Amino acid sequence: MIKLNNLVATYTTERGQVNAVDGINIALPSGKIIGIAGESGCGKSTLLKVIYGDLIYPLALTSGNVEYGFTGDRGTEVTTRDIKEYWFRRISYIPQASMSSLNPVIRIRRQFVDFQGNVVDEAKILAEVREYVRSLDLPAEAIDAYPHQLSGGMRQRIMVAMGTFFKPDIILADEPTTALDVVVQKSILMLLMDIQEQMENTILFVSHDMGVHYQLTHKMLIMYAAKVVEFGDSEDVFSTSLHPYTKMLTDSLPTIGDDHIREGVSGRPPSLWDELVGCRFAARCPLATEICRQQEPALLEHKPGHFSACHHADQV
Ligand SMILES: Nc1ncnc2c1ncn2[C@@H]1O[C@H](COP(=O)(O)OP(=O)(O)OP(=O)(O)O)[C@@H](O)[C@H]1O
Ligand SMILES: [Mg+2]
Contacts of 35 (CB under 8 A, 6+ apart): 205, 206, 207, 213, 216, 217, 219, 220, 221, 234
What pLDDT, on a 0 to 100 scale, did the predictor assign at position 179?
77
Q: Closest Cα to atom 1, ligand 1: which residue?
A: 58
From first to last of its 316 residues, the chain has per-residue pLDDT tens of: 999 999 999 999 998 999 999 999 999 999 999 999 999 999 999 999 999 999 999 999 999 999 999 989 889 889 999 999 999 889 999 988 767 778 889 999 988 888 776 667 888 889 999 999 999 888 999 999 999 999 888 998 998 998 999 999 999 999 998 878 888 889 999 999 999 999 999 999 999 999 999 999 999 999 999 999 999 999 999 999 999 999 999 886 665 555 555 556 678 999 999 999 999 999 999 999 999 999 999 999 999 999 999 999 999 9
Measured CA to CA in angstroms, residue 141 lies from 126, 134, 144, 147, 188 at distances of 11, 9, 5, 12, 18
Q: Looking at residue 81, which CATH number applies to its domain?
A: 3.40.50.300
Q: Whose CA is nearest to atom 5 of ligand 1?
A: 11
What is the 226 CA–ligand 1 centroid distance (Å)?
10
* Ligand 1, atom 3, residue with closest C-alpha: 11
**Residue 264 pLDDT:** 61
Q: 130 C-alpha to center of ligand 2: Å? A: 31
Return the pLDDT at 137. 86
Ligand 1 center from residue 250 Cα (angstroms): 23
87: which strand partners? 91
pLDDT of residue 136: 87
* 3-state DSSP assignment of residue 262: coil
> What pLDDT score was predicted for residue 181?
86
CA of 184 to the centre of ligand 1 (A): 27
3-state secondary structure of 247: helix
Which residues constitute the domain of residue 69?
2-315
Dist. CA 267–CA 269, nearest whole Å: 7
CA-closest residue to ligand 1 atom 18: 43
Pocket residues for ligand 1 (CB within 6 Å)? 11, 13, 18, 20, 40-46, 58, 272
Ligand 1 center from residue 20 Cα (angstroms): 7
Which ligand places an atom closest to the C-alpha of 54? 1
pLDDT at 256: 54
Question: Residue 119: what pLDDT?
Answer: 65
- Pocket probe for ligand 1: among 40, 54, 172, 229, the residue whose CB has the most ligand atoms within 8 Å is 40
Domain total for the chain? 1
Q: Which atom of ligand 1 is nearest to the CA of 46?
A: 18
Helix (H, G, I), strand (E, B) or coil at 184: helix
